Amino acid sequence: MKFYYCLLFISMLAVSGFAQTNGILSESDTVKGVELNEVIVVGKSRVREINESAYNAVSIDARLLHNTTLNLTQTLDRISGVKIRETGGVGSDSQISINGFSGRHIKVFMDGIPMEGFGSSFQLNNMPVNLAARIDVYKGVVPIEFGADALGGAINIVTGQTRNTYLDLSYSYGSFNTHKSNISFGHTTNSGFVFRLNAYQNYSDNNYKVKTKLLDFSSSHFSTEEYWFKRFHDNYHNEAITAKAGIVNKIWADHLLVGITLSQEKADIQNAYLMQIVYGGRERKAKSIIPTLNYEKKNLFVQNLNFALTANYNKVRSNNLDTLARRYNWKGEYEPKGTKGESGRYSMSEFDSQNAYITANLNYRPNNKHYFAVNNLYGNYTRKATDAAANSENSTAATFMKRINSKNVLGLSYKFEPNKRWNVSAFYKYYKVNVRGPVDISTTTVAEYAEKEKSFSTAGYGIVMTYFLTDAFQVKTSFEKAYRLPSERELFGDEVLETGDVSLKPENSRNLNFNISYSNVWNNTHSAYIDIGMIYRDTRDYIRRQIEQRYGGAFYTNHGKVRNIGVDCEARYFYRNIFSAGGNITYQNIRSMTRYTVNETYDINYRGRMPNVPYMFGNLDVSYNINNVLGKENVLSLGYNMRYVHAFLRDWINEGATDVTIPMQLSHDMNVTYTLQNGRYNISFEVKNIADEMLYDNYSLQKPGRSFTIKLRYFFFNNNFK
């Protein structure tokens, strides 16, 4: 850990030397028009281009949230149709849901590079929003440029790409002894040399209060009543640093960057399954090293022939420690038990994972009406146990067998755009995967493992189209037959709480989207935006995560057929740069359509609502800016945010279970930000969950109650190329 802190401190000293006083970026840097002598020059930002594309996509300018303490998953939670599920406080496991699809159905990228295999120490749930300049969310059909085998959509985190010099420093302190700090720096010389740095750290005791039942050691039963307890053994901290260097605007390369990311984390594992099981000694550790390469060249050999290449290699070492022969309750008391390992499995396991991806894209536009593209993604994942795993008393022959998953996704697309009013694109994807890992071949109760290998290949296709009825009204529609290949975690488990299954089948789905939107500006003063989207998903071999109740572990299985019919709506209003208000609501009717089980018996859950999936939720936010407070170019901003989740089922209701409903949840947040000198100095104060409501998520795991946070931020920007 000392290495990371030293590197962070040295980096801060180095970049501070570049700070000058002749330029500041304000939030207005992202405006789409500049008025000069009553002549307005209008250009579409990348955010607007994505929002107006034929894809059911939403792009947000993350820079507008840089004064908050949000991480990237919490930022996504504010987008229509997107729901984030968290298992606790800072650093807890999170799951992204887009229009009913969640987990591995959603593919996540950073600057176009797949984040699969990055390791738990470098994920969206611990990355500050300051790391992103823009966040693009694709709901449903994903452009072939990402090479994604996704059913539910994709998320692309776009980091700062500006060629200007900037420095962003922030620190926040909040409830539950939570500390977060971040540094971002970028500089481009006149000769075209580029250097960018991002570093951050998170720490929290996560010692908020929870209400649950108490285990009585004498009877081995839980109390009938629930009591309040302070969480213990739930510390989390992680550090990460990303550095990139390269060149821009050369004859042989418009953009060439090589980078390295170092990250580490240490997390206590505290509880599982309905808050009843609590641990006092389990923990996990992870370290990752990720070198990356980005290359782009426009007009390669001929005009309008563009080539792009991204590559990354991820090396992750993870440790799972579970050695105590104890059983704990929520008072922090424990009793000895006959076997080591609080989870039922003694472990000092250590695993090395290696993951490599390379994506190549070639596109050609012979004229303004036709656009061709070809994209290929190749990925290879390998995991093996180190010698340290031999210390595990639960080691088997399977422990030391390699886990290998390689896949290739080839995409072809053609776009026809006869005019600016409408365009249509058709695409084709070819998937090929090879999996190798341990399989239990025993016909008795005693496990016997053998290393097995299987291959799979198939093809998908789709079409997307958009039409502008007027300058204000836009219609979008898309259809896709898509496949989603099982992830490494689903195939091989996570070596902590989840077990894998290498026999899982790929999911396949027929997806249909329809959107209509309205956007207009009146007198350069008022503007409004409304979007209504409808979805239909018919999924086969749906992969479902299920809980093993005794020890709180999890496993994956092919459920069968699942159908989802849903709608999401969003509306926003702006008055100059003074006032804004907006909200969204999502409803999704996702049900099991498996009529018969594998034993050909009638499935009593046929047409039942899929459990543990919120089906109606929404957000509301309001902001008000007061300009020139105690000085010119000083702004006082007041903000309010409300989140709503309708009650939903935790388990199948048709199985006669009781107390299966997770109650309705409504939470309120407020924030105040004072910005000085046009954005150079910033101080923010936030209150989350003002009413101190009990908030739940995955399988009733409670999230933090009311919390307070203060954040200090310094931001410098210098326009190098005026």
Task: Report the CATH number that the domain containing residue 155 is assigned in CATH.
Answer: 2.40.170.20
Q: So what's the pLDDT on residue 23?
A: 34
Quick check: 268 pLDDT over 50? yes
Residue type at 29?
D
Q: So what's the pLDDT on residue 297?
A: 96
Q: How confident is the model at residue 265 (pLDDT cuts 50, 70, 90)?
A: very high
Q: So what's the pLDDT on residue 31?
A: 37
Alpha-carbon span 440 to 501, nearest angstrom: 10
Q: So what's the pLDDT on residue 37?
A: 37
Quick check: 671 pLDDT over 90? yes
Alpha-carbon span 353 to 316, nearest angstrom: 5
Quick check: 273 pLDDT over 70? no
pLDDT higher at 81 or 683: 683
Q: So what's the pLDDT on residue 571?
A: 95
The mean pLDDT of 148-165, rounded to a whole number, is 82
C-alpha of 265 from chain center? 18
∠ CA(617), CA(131), CA(674), 5° rounding? 80
Per-residue pLDDT of 543-590, as tens digits, reads 776 665 554 556 677 777 889 999 999 999 999 989 999 999 999 998
Quick check: 79 pLDDT over 90? no
Q: So what's the pLDDT on residue 371?
A: 96
Q: How confident is the model at residue 118 (pLDDT cuts 50, 70, 90)?
A: confident
Alpha-carbon span 663 to 649, nearest angstrom: 9
Per-residue pLDDT of 512-554, as tens digits, reads 999 999 999 999 899 999 999 999 989 888 777 666 555 455 6
Using alpha carbons, select from 58, 22, 48 the residue that is nearest to residue 619: 58
Residues 6+ apart with CB under 8 A from 108: 96, 114, 115, 116, 124, 154, 155, 156, 157
Q: How confident is the model at residue 167 (pLDDT cuts 50, 70, 90)?
A: very high
pLDDT higher at 214 or 598: 214
Report the relative pairing of strands 153-158 and 106-110 from DSSP bridges: parallel
Per-residue pLDDT of 709-722, as tens digits, reads 999 999 998 876 55
Q: So what's the pLDDT on residue 152?
A: 72
The mean pLDDT of 448-455, rounded to a whole number, is 76
Quick check: 210 pLDDT over 50? yes
Q: What's the predicted TM-score (pTM) here? A: 0.84
Q: So what's the pLDDT on residue 2?
A: 44
Q: How confident is the model at residue 345 (pLDDT cuts 50, 70, 90)?
A: confident
The token pair that represents 436 in the structure block: 């190798």
Three-state SS for 148? coil
Q: Tell me the pLDDT of the chain averaged across its residues.
A: 83
Helix (H) or strand (E) holding 267: strand 253-268
Q: So what's the pLDDT on residue 12?
A: 38
Quick check: 278 pLDDT over 80? yes
Alpha-carbon span 170 to 709, nearest angstrom: 13
Q: How confident is the model at residue 22 (pLDDT cuts 50, 70, 90)?
A: very low
Buried b (16+ CB within 10 A) or exposed e, 681-713: ebebebebbeeeeebbbbbbbbbbbbbebebeb
Alpha-carbon span 399 to 395, nearest angstrom: 6
Residue 212, beta-bridge partner list = 227
Order of all β-strands in the sheet with 113-114: 57-61, 134-139, 153-158, 106-110, 113-114
**% of the chain exceeding 70 in pLDDT:** 84
Range of lowest pLDDT (94-108, 174-188, 244-258): 94-108
Range of the domain at 689: 2-718
**% of the chain exceeding 90 in pLDDT:** 44
Q: So what's the pLDDT on residue 3?
A: 39
Q: How confident is the model at residue 102 (pLDDT cuts 50, 70, 90)?
A: low
Q: How confident is the model at residue 422 (pLDDT cuts 50, 70, 90)?
A: very high
Q: Give the chain's domain count.
A: 1
Alpha-carbon span 264 to 239, nearest angstrom: 6
Q: So what's the pLDDT on residue 328?
A: 93
Q: How confident is the model at residue 201 (pLDDT cuts 50, 70, 90)?
A: very high
The mean pLDDT of 301-306, rounded to a whole number, is 94
Which phi and psi angles does 655 have, rounded to 5°? -90, 10
Quick check: 94 pLDDT over 60? yes
Strand runs labelled E in 43-130 = 57-61, 82-86, 94-98, 101-102, 106-110, 113-114
Per-residue pLDDT of 626-669, as tens digits, reads 999 999 889 999 999 999 999 888 777 655 555 578 888 899 99
Per-residue pLDDT of 590-606, as tens digits, reads 898 888 876 678 888 88
Quick check: 28 pLDDT over 50? no
Q: So what's the pLDDT on residue 610?
A: 84
